[in-house]
Structure 1
Amino acid sequence: MGLREDLERFREVGEARREDLAEFISYGDLGSSRPDEVRIPVKIVDLPAFEYDRRDRGGVGQGDAEVGQPVGQPRPQPGDDGEESDPGDEGGDHEYYEMDPEEFAQELDEELGLDLDPKGKTVVEETEGPFTDMTRSGPDSTLDFERMFKEGLKRKLATDFDEEFLREVCKVSGITPREVFEWARGESLPVSFAWVEEAHAEVEDERGAWGSIEELEAEIDREPIQAKIRREGIGHVPFRREDERYRYPEIVEEREKNVVVVNIRDVSGSMREKKRELVERTFTPLDWYLTGKYDTAEFVYIAHDADAWQVSREEFFGIRSGGGTRISSAYELAATLLEEYPWSDWNRYVFAAGDSENSSNDTGERVIPLMEEIPANLHAYVETQPSGNAINATHAEELERHFGRDAEDVAIAYVNGAEDVTDAIYEILSTEGDSDE
């Protein structure tokens, strides 16, 4: 077994023993990962390695002793005599199962039963696909002869009839060409009056062979056209110009799947450490997931109290302010920043989080209109209230009353503890429906 197989085996073992994904999201150390690499602790997995036995010193054929000299005992090692050795001051190594965001997204899809299908926006290339489209004109080399033959065959089946039987009808005593024609039409036989007149004249000498059509039908069976074709074959197929169709290639548009994610967080004085941690536990996996789903993913981070300002990802989860709260200030800034990401070219997600406390009337008068004005695949608000709802924490409830629970582009999630995080992520990612391009 070579080194490649050893590493693959180690990866399989690591995958089997790593923390459950939902458990990792809710309780694991998310800070050890990077935006482009998710590191999940592995439960007791050691890489195989060769070690020298420290006691394997001296003995037969070793050392400076002469031949025949009694073999002594190995030199005692710390701890060999039952006494405890001094504890070391170096930390142990921890192993991690590493996955990129694309693998993380696949795993989360399986874990939570998600099926998000990213939409391509910007056309980056047009290519010729299979010759599946049809046109009424084109070069002879692209003529769809198979289709033309089928159309002609259908016409033959629809217009052919048992000519011999109809000639026998013309022999009925006293029958006129008009009577033969009307009888044939009543039987859905596609015959022309001119044909009937000609056949009626040809059998004039045999007129009276049958006393009535009923007598004829009792003696002779009509032959279905399908049986006639099987017996005689197809002499000709009646093609028409209207049957001609020419194949041409379908134009396939390769679209780049771009996404911009706007993460908004309340950093006012009421957002204490536990609330900030729940925001991080919810938003970080969302970032990984969308990074894995899209070809290009860009992230914008906005912090706000009564005012809003753009921050880096590192600042986003740790920053804290002592000011009040006006959530609309974040959406106003988001609308401005999103001008760099046109809706025609970019998928958009706007995720906000806080403890649902907001200044008076701001939710109804400013936030809701702004959410309706900003085109996005999905708007989401995550309420974090570890100790239960505060009296004035009404923002999430107001959004829910206005947009309803079944809106395809607005999700409201409640996170009171780490155990609610995966449910909140599922609520957000399973909400998006088919958005307008």
Structure 2
Amino acid sequence: MNTALVSGLIILVLLVIMLLAGVPIAVALGISSVCAILPVMDTSVAVLTGAQRIFSGISVFSLLAIPFFILAGNIMNKGGIAVRLINLAKLITGRAPGALAQTNVIANMLFGAISGSGTAAASAMGSIIGPIEKDEGYDPNFSAAANIATAPTGLLIPPSNVMITFSLVSGGTSVAALFMAGYIPGILWGLACMVVIYFIAKKKGYRAKTKFTFKEAMKIILQALPCLLLILIVIGGIIGGIFTATEGSVVAVVYSLVLSLFFYRSISLKDLPKIFKESAEMTGIIIFLIGVSSIMSWVMAFTNIPTAVSNGLLAISSNKIVIFLLINVILLIVGTFMDMTPACLIFTPIFLPVCTALGMNPIHFGIMLIFNLCIGTITPPVGTTLFVGVKVGKVKIETVFRQLLIYFAAIFVVLMLVTYIPQLSLWLPSLMGYV
């Protein structure tokens, strides 16, 4: 039996056993990776090398962007921007069928992009828009489903921490290029859900009851403008070469602090220690995962597991349409059981060589991977965004899940378009000279 097969089986079996036993995923990754290298390496050398890989894996300057973007997102989450973005979204949707649910979609796209968190978007928007929808006669399950289905769009629309993680694990794919590549797929996800909402709302007779005067509309736009400027300043600065993604994350923190403390005055200095603590905890989890996953990446490279997987997939079919579909199915299944960061860290080194061998651009692959894993955040049994959306919507998961099925169908169609039409991901990066 060859080394790649033995090591691969050890990783798979131990990882599944430990996860079923409730072992934290970072610990399970580290132990299974070290055990997988033992058949070809002395124990003391394997353990020492594993420790070295953890430190070398996190000693990367670009990783500093993650804690700063997390901190900026937490400041903005507490900074009172949700209501202002909801009012702007209401203005955009007007009196279309299901206007409040349509408002939820646009607000999720805006807020998710600013906060970089699908769960934060589902929580903030669901808790504010949900009660309003209920007062206007909307079915709570319909409202919750619309909120849940569109909350992950902000993970595709930059800035996005998982894109930074992918950049690292893929060997240095341009963060700016990934940021640009995420816009069209993220917007298409939101638009597909808005089409679904339109037809359901038209059938059920859900219509908006609010009209805005010109004066009210201008006030709403002016109040929301500072929030939107964060995206423009950070993404524009990165794309324009004014600063790197890491420096842009610091700019985002400073801007969000000034906006929340002095402009909106929605947080005070006494709130900052709690925000810093929450951000540090989230950062610690992600950075430790990245460090431990670098052991697995090294083991895979040392034992030629990616090559073995590539050869195995290509033995099934040489047709790239079939291979891409198979990879999508695997990622969709993985996403239902694993959080985005560890899944990205584990499966990027496995599937990226296969896709690049078939002519797929790494930027295109990154968006396809992230899109798949975003779907996993709204599917049981580990869909964190799904559970948050159900909780804030005060509904049962089984009734909401039935309503989510039609959204899943629409989102899957967009996934297939993103997979098989590379320009949906590559047009904007190529326009900016990244491809």
Provide TM-score, normalisation by structure 1: 0.21
Larger Rg: 1
| Structure whose residues are more often strand by fraction | 1
| Structure whose residues are more often helix by fraction | 2
Provide TM-score, normalisation by structure 2: 0.21
